[in-house]
Amino acid sequence: MSENFVEPQFFTFAQPPNELVLKSGVKLGPVTLAYETYGKLNADRSNAILIFHALTGDAHAAGWQKGDKSPGWWDAMIGPGKAFDTDKYFVICSNVIGGCKGSTGPASINPATGKPYGLSFPVITIEDMIVAQKHLIDYLGIKQLLSASGGSMGGLMALKWAVMYPGTLRSSILIATNYRHTAQQIALHEVARQAIMSDPDWQNGDYYGKSVPARGLAVSRMIGHITYMSERSMEEKFGRKLQNKEKLGYDFSHDFEVEGYLKYRSDNFVQRFDANSYLYLSKALDYFDLAEDTDLQKAFKGVKSKFLIVTFTSDWLYPSYQSKEMVKAMKANNLDVSYIEIATDYGHDSFLVEIEGQSKLVTHFLNNVK
């Protein structure tokens, strides 16, 4: 294990009366962002790369914190000599607002009441998360990012950053993502939200210090996990294998390995994630539509970044055709966009596990960013 542990850092801003004005018009402040950095910012501050995490991710993208059993969630991609090479680049990752990993979210204490926000936390959007992170980048003294990147929700944030702050970004790497949430994506999230909200322990979001809506959150995570895998990867990993059994039990205890896996993963998740954050972040994703006020082609007007867009053949949650529509709209704006669909069975999770191909692409793409 590394002798240099990563330390989480915190940045607080938007102190009243200068609160953050959210897209909904509601004010939020003070706002704290938890973030980590890897590598060194160079003298002219031109080697910074902002990484955005996915729905249930956090600021701990790489390296080891004290007590870690595993490294950060994208450690395979970020580090010395890796795709996001921390010998060359200064890599920043921060937890989104609305999250529960150190940044201000529904589980945070509302300074006005001294109690956790719960459902009094305002509904936030992808745009609000980005505005908050722009404050962090300004605070770090970075005028222009070499790149912004992420998978899934992280990809969509990198995309929206390129549109909102065109002058601040030289390149964007968008992986397994979409420019808006579709009916299917919204529907899957809604089932997850209903699972949480129908847990009697949810108590309209006011469960802090009491028993948490663990069963509801576990069910929503199980749904999530199914959508992150592919039919084929599940078949290969589990098939019809039985768990701790020689034959079927003819009862409703777990028979199959896949059932045990979902329980194991969701139980872990409940330990580390706040149910209200899941509601807020999934809602933010569902609200996202890059073309909301206009058509997609016009949405890219004025964008300057060059793009690398990566999809995976077996990703049915964010299927390739959605990225292709985005590529088409970018090309219509004469943007410099490279697109690749990687053949893999790992489904939506590929952005976390299909490292070889992504590493080659990211390494070389970043080498060629001017």
- Catalytic residue selected from 94, 147, 152, 320: 152
Residues 359/83, Cβ–Cβ less than 8 Å: yes
Rounded alpha-carbon distances, angstroms, from residue 178 to 40, 222, 289, 310, 343: 31, 22, 9, 11, 18
Judged by beta carbon, residue 118 or residue 357, the one nearer another protein is 357
Give, as ranges, the residues between 150 and 169 that touch another protein (CB under 8 A): none
The H or E element spanning position 151 is: strand 147-151
Rounded to whole angstroms, how far apart are CA atoms 173 and 56?
20
Give, as ranges, the residues between 333 and 362 that touch another protein (CB under 8 A): 334, 336-343, 357, 360-361
Q: Does 365 bind another protein (CB under 8 A)?
A: yes
Pairing state between β 48-52 and 31-38:
unpaired
- Of 193, 308, 349, 355, which lies in the binding site for another protein, with binding defined by CB under 8 A? 308
One-letter identity of residue 362: V
Judged by beta carbon, residue 276 or residue 323, the one nearer another protein is 323
Is-catalytic flag, 267? no
Question: Nearest approach, Cβ of 6 to another protein (angstroms)?
Answer: 29
Question: Nearest approach, Cβ of 363 to another protein (angstroms)?
Answer: 8
| Segment contacting another protein by CB under 8 A, of 253-261, 268-276, 284-292, 320-328 | 320-328
Is-catalytic flag, 359? no
One-letter identity of residue 114: G
Angle between helices 214-228 and 183-197 (to 10 degrees): 160
DSSP string, 156-188: HHHHHHHHH-GGGBSEEEEES--SB--HHHHHH
Give, as ranges, the residues between 242 and 301 that touch another protein (CB under 8 A): none
Judged by beta carbon, residue 284 or residue 337, the one nearer another protein is 337
* Rounded-to-5 percentages of helix, strand, coil across the chain: 40, 15, 45
Is-catalytic flag, 348? yes
Rounded to whole angstroms, how far apart are CA atoms 170 and 45?
13
Judged by beta carbon, residue 176 or residue 217, the one nearer another protein is 176
Q: Does 303 bind another protein (CB under 8 A)?
A: no
* Number of residues in contact with another protein under rule CB under 8 A: 23
Exposed, middle or buried, 247 (CB in 10 Å: 0-12/13-18/19+)? exposed
Question: Nearest approach, Cβ of 330 to another protein (angstroms)?
Answer: 9
What lies within 8 Å, CB to CB, of 33 at 6+ separation is 10, 11, 12, 13, 94, 95, 97, 102, 103, 104, 132, 133, 135, 136
Judged by beta carbon, residue 243 or residue 338, the one nearer another protein is 338
Judged by beta carbon, residue 88 or residue 221, the one nearer another protein is 88
- Catalytic residue selected from 85, 199, 286, 315: 315
Residues with catalytic roles: 152, 315, 348
Residues that bind another protein (CB under 8 A): 306, 308, 324, 327-328, 331-332, 334, 336-343, 357, 360-361, 364-365, 367-368
